[in-house]
């Protein structure tokens, strides 16, 4: 049996240099299953380095297989972790998009509120201008009304013996008193 490992190691080196597909073309009468057994139990590769690289150490294929399985489990664990992080990022992006849409809705609402405020300010300004024009008309009419009323009251009193006409009672008139 001393011949088996030598052939297997030679075959293993061929596999490394020529590719794994060539492993199925063993030298001589060696079977694939025997070479796999030899590959696992008497190779030259050892444990992984801290950064995941493999280094040459004396030892059996069983240790390499265990190390390979550990690396595979870590790799699968990290892949699951990456997938979970990708899902989380997707959820975060979705939440961000919803928040941005909500923000835009609030921005639009604020824009509408500002437009309403501007419209109300414009209405107040126009109403104030209308009130000022109406107050000016009231002053002019009062200027015409007072002398005419005084003359009518004098005629009623002197010619007809009647009392004077009642005064216009309005608090608004006292607010709009003629400004001189």
Going residue by residue through the chain (180 aa), what tens digit of pLDDT does each one get?
Answer: 444 443 444 444 443 433 444 444 444 444 444 444 444 444 444 444 445 444 555 557 888 999 999 999 999 999 999 999 999 999 999 999 999 999 999 999 999 999 999 999 999 999 999 999 999 999 999 899 889 989 999 988 888 888 888 887 766 666 665 454
Task: Say how far apart CA 90 and CA 118 lie, in whole Å.
Answer: 41
Q: Whole-prediction pTM value?
A: 0.44
Distance from the Cα of residue 91 to its chain's centroid: 11
Strand partners, 54: 48
Nearest to 25 by CA among 39, 37, 14, 38: 14
Sign of CA dihedral 130, 131, 133, 138: positive
For the record, the structure tokens of 98 come out as: 């919803």
């Amino acid at each position: 049996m001393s011949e088996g490992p030598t052939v297997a190691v030679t075959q293993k080196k061929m596999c490394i240099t020529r590719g794994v597909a060539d492993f199925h073309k063993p030298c001589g009468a060696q079977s694939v299953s025997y070479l796999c057994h030899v590959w696992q139990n008497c190779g030259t590769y050892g444990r992984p380095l801290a950064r995941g690289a493999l280094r040459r150490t004396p030892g059996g294929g069983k240790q390499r297989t265990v190390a390979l399985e550990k690396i595979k489990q870590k790799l699968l664990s990290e892949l699951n972790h990456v997938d979970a992080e990708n899902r989380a990022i997707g959820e975060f992006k979705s939440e961000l998009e919803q928040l941005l849409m909500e923000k835009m809705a609030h921005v639009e609402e604020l824009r509408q509120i500002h437009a309403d405020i501007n419209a109300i300010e414009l209405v107040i300004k126009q109403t104030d201008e209308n009130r000022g024009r109406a107050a000016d008309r009231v002053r002019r009419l009062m200027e015409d009304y007072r002398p005419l009323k005084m003359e009518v009251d004098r005629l009623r009193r002197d010619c007809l013996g009647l009392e004077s006409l009642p005064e216009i009672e309005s608090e608004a008139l006292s607010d709009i008193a003629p400004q001189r």
